[in-house]
Amino acid sequence: KSWITFLEKKGLKIHPKHTLSDFESTDGKAIVRFQEIPEEVFKFDKVIFALGGGSWEESEPEWCELFRSKGLRLESFMPSNVGYEVDWPEKLLTEAEGKPLKKILLTTKRGSK
């Protein structure tokens, strides 16, 4: 939070919960449009698209096709972090807590690894 506050004081503008509909570069400016406010055009010197990662279980997010239509190459989404809670037996925790998980199978709607 303090990092975002610091950046906002330097002019950072964050548009959370907006759906990117289009972007382009004109005269050294980034032009950005959102579905929620199609009549408004945003112009920036620089843009960072923080659109998330591979947490979509059902299908690829819509913005992927927009980026591809602009000639941008996207890497396949892969999970980069995970959180879980398990009610492990106390005996197992005493022996294994804090040690790496090995020889496990993780399963999602996309398959198993």
- Residue-wise pLDDT for 59-104, tens only, equals 778 888 999 999 999 877 766 666 778 888 999 889 888 888 788 8
Query: Mean of the pLDDT values across residues 27-49?
Result: 91
Alpha-carbon torsion (31, 36, 40, 43), positive or negative? negative
Compute and round to an integer the Cα radius of gyration of the chain. Answer: 20
